[in-house]
Amino acid sequence: MVALYRTGFYSSNHVRLSNVVRYWRFLMTTPKSPSPAAADAVPTDPATTTGSRSYPSLRAAWIPLAALCLAFFVEMVDNTLLTIALPTIGRDLQGSTTSLQWITGAYSLTFGGLLLTAGSIADRFGRRRVLQVGLTAFGLMSLLVLAVTTTGELIALRAGLGIAAAATAPITNSLVFRLFDDQALRMRAMTVMIVVGMSGFILGPLLGGTALTHVSWQWLLLINAPIALIAFLGVRLGVDPDRPEDLTRDVLDIPGAALTILGIGLACYTLTSGVEHGWLSVPTLLSASGAIAAGIGFVVRERRAAFPMLDLHLLHDRTIRGAALAQLGTSMAMIGVLFSLVLHFQYAYGWSPIRAGLANLPFILTMLAATPLTELLVARYGRRVACLIGAVSLTVSLAWLSWAVDHGYLMIAVGMVIMTVGLRTVMTICAVGLIDAMPSNRTSLGAALNDTAQEVGTSIGTALVGTLIAALVVTVLPLGAWSPALVSSYFHGERVAYLALMVLVGVVAVLGALTMDDSRTAEEHHDLDAV
């Protein structure tokens, strides 16, 4: 979930790339022994270590760690890989603005809606087994793009890929913990995972734009098949199977999962229906009512279920609640801006896909440069203030972008830099803080909750911006170059969309930041009784 600034780690900037290589080598070295305080603060979880192979260093675990990182990378890349190809897909398949938004949103919808369910299934039937099934399904379904002839078929395929990806995302983080007994190694391995995931999310548009200059857009999905195969083999060779005694026998919360997907889906469709049928039309009102009913039903179900998909008592912890809320806000801003700028660069500016992809370099470079800043802010001010600074930067960037849309690329790039500082800060602090605040035997649930918040935000952000542009500009994207009048209209629609995001994201992200704790470390876990 984590996130869009991920394309930077594989940019053509050789200086940046060499820094990444040196950073990787540093992480792969054998760590010092953890301090007694750190060992006491993060108790070993027997469920993740008993009976499993324990590696003495990240270097020794390079096969399974690389496989898990590759699996996580392809999940995150697929969130944004097709965004750069949306104009091309729209022309090829004769798609409307709303159908293009669902090509992106369908993946996020099923991915986010099923993350918690997939985590529960993995805890019951085996984490390695479910991960391998997910990778196999992901690779095979990617081949089906060759049979796609309509946007409806592509949306269905993307939804299926989201389901397969949901079977891998939280499990990759859980299995990383299982590779090591040493807590310092676990923290370093999680750092590698977060860096790879964040790189993958933003690498999608750049990779997609580069590929589109040489091959058709279908290849953007076909490439998933060999990547999934490599990840499958690495997991098979390097990760031990789960032991039966380490798995739970809790009954799966199928109604809870169904209510989650129904609520998110209907909420997103309400926005689309408002444009197509009118805001007071029967379909719009019915879908809105259904979304509210599903949300209420989910809360009631989780409170009464003997084995809930999400134990709502966990949300009583302010850090868990604040981190999830802030992640929701940042993801809305991230995907909303990315979605609109793809159309901005390719349609309004008439740029080629690769040039539009390279236009994201401010995101990439700032994501890399902001790492020391994030660490400095947390060390000096604590999580709450550091996260608040990031949330304010995010809000300011949206206000800036609303002004910059018709002031040229340089001004837009300035907005990208401000936004990335906010995104990098909030998303890193919240990801570490949320998992850190979870009971030591529920860290995989924390990872799933973090990803779920991000994917829900992605669905809402895509639906909001896509719907506003469709309502204010044009429902069906015209073929060929845009007229000056249409470009001006699009800029106006972008401006309104960014202002709407500014208000929504500002409230959600700032409120989440204010709810965070004041910890200045990443080495405290709460006991189960504390939650």
> Mind listing the pLDDT tens digit for each residue in 316-369?
888 888 888 998 999 888 888 887 887 888 778 888 777 877 787 888 788 777
Q: What phi and psi values does residue 526 have, to the nearest 5 degrees?
A: -90, 150
Which positions ≥6 away from 463 have C-beta within 8 Å? Answer: 101, 105, 267, 268, 271, 272
Residue 146 CB-density burial (10 A; 0-12 exposed, 13-18 middle, 19+ buried): exposed
Statement: 56-253 belongs to CATH 3.30.420.40: no
CA distance 355 to 346: 9
Least Cα distance to 499 among 510, 511, 491, 489 occurs for: 491
Give mean pLDDT, residues 124-149: 89
What local confidence, expressed as pLDDT, does residue 392 receive?
94
CB atoms within 10 A of CB 324: 23
- Output helix, strand, coil percentages for the chain, rounded to the nearest 5: 80, 0, 20
Share above pLDDT 90 across residues of the chain, in percent, rounded to a whole number: 17
**Structure confidence at residue 520 (pLDDT):** 67
pLDDT at 130: 87
User: Mean pLDDT highest for which of 16-30, 295-309, 336-350?
Assistant: 295-309
Contact, 17 vs 149, CB < 8 A? Answer: no
CA 224 to chain centre: 17
Q: Decide if 78 contacts 165 (C-beta within 8 A).
A: yes
Average pLDDT over residues 403-431: 90
Cβ neighbours for 432, distance < 8 A, ≥ 6 positions apart: 194, 522
Dist CA 420 CA 371 (whole Å): 11
- Give per-residue pLDDT as tens, 363-415: 878 877 777 787 788 888 888 899 999 999 999 999 999 999 989 999 999 99
CA gap 99, 470 in Å, rounded? 10
For residue 140, pLDDT beyond 90? yes
What's 150's DSSP letter?
A: S
Tell me the C-alpha distance between 121 and 52, whole Å: 20
CA distance 128 to 169: 12
Is the model more confident about 149 or about 25? 149
Residue type, 110: T
Q: In this predicted structure, what is the pLDDT of residue 20? A: 34
What lies within 8 Å, CB to CB, of 79 at 6+ separation is 1, 107, 108, 111, 201, 204, 335, 458
- C-beta separation of 500 from 468 below 8 A: yes
Residue 169 pLDDT greater than 50, yes or no: yes
Least confident of 17-21, 60-64, 116-120, 460-464: 17-21
* Higher-scoring residue by pLDDT: 430, 32: 430
Residue 79 confidence (pLDDT): 65
d(CA 461, CA 186): 33
Which token pair is 37?
A: 């305080």
pLDDT given for residue 244 in this prediction? 76
**Whole-number pLDDT of residue 4:** 32
User: How many CA atoms are closer than 13 Å to the CA of 239, on its beta-carbon side?
Assistant: 31
pTM of the model: 0.68
Residue (of 328, 302, 260, 310) closest to 464 by Cα position = 328
Q: List the chain domain ranges.
A: 56-253, 255-304, 312-531
- Identify residue 373 by its one-letter amino acid code: L
Neighbours of 57 (CB within 10 A): 16
44-100, pLDDT tens digit by residue?
A: 343 333 345 678 888 888 888 888 888 888 777 776 677 777 878 888 887 777 777
Best CA proximity match to 429, nearest among 381, 365, 395: 381
CATH architecture under which domain 312-531 falls: Up-down Bundle (1.20)
Residue with token string 């789960």: 242
Per-residue pLDDT at 439: 67
Q: Which long-range CB contacts under 8 A does 369-374 form with residues at least 24 apart?
A: 370/420, 370/421, 370/424, 370/425, 371/424, 371/428, 373/421, 373/424, 373/425, 374/424, 374/425, 374/428, 374/429
Amino acid sitting at position 367: M
Closest listed residue to residue 457, CA positions, set 323, 299, 326, 342? 326
Q: Look at residue 397 and give its three-state secondary structure.
A: helix
For CA atoms 429, 432, 435, 440, give the dihedral sign.
Answer: negative
What span, in angstroms and rounded, lies between the C-alpha atoms of 471 and 25? 50
* Per-residue confidence band for 522, with pLDDT thresholds at 50, 70 and 90: very low
Check residue 30 and report its DSSP letter.
Answer: P
